Amino acid sequence: MSLPQGATSPSTDKILHAKLMAPHLASAVIPRQDLLARLDAGLSRKLILVSAPTGYGKTTLVNRWLAQRKIPSAWLTLDEYDYDPVRFWTYVVTAIRTFNASLGKSALSALAGVMLLKSLVTLLYPRRE
């Protein structure tokens, strides 16, 4: 995967732990019982996807739902620098390990190996522009 012009390869050896923490819940939010019920219904599935335009309250809704239901969960906030597959999966596995530290040890080791290999390839075969 090529990097956007001017971007540098993201490092996976430094995890920003703030990305693994859910935002603070505001005390006053509009109750959305219908949407909370729809999330509850999704518990029988393997994945729940919440999709809506910016500013529609997705983060608040999911955060409130997780807090009320006490469901084991992993939180990950992504940004424009998380396009690198190794970085992305390192964050996903690390997020999962926040509620079960026994999961993902071998995956993190494998991802670190991939990152090392990518670094060696870059050193040996630098891109020519």
- Taking only the tens of pLDDT, the chain with its 129 residues reads 444 444 444 444 578 889 999 888 877 888 899 999 999 999 999 889 999 999 999 999 999 999 889 888 889 998 888 888 888 888 988 998 888 888 888 888 888 777 777 777 777 777 776
Domain boundaries, the chain: 15-73, 76-129
Q: Ramachandran region of residue 30, left (φ > 0), alpha (ψ -120 to 50) or beta?
A: beta
Residues 6+ apart with CB under 8 A from 129: none
3-state SS, residue 60: helix
pLDDT at 44: 94
pLDDT at 7: 42
Q: Ramachandran region of residue 78, left (φ > 0), alpha (ψ -120 to 50) or beta?
A: beta
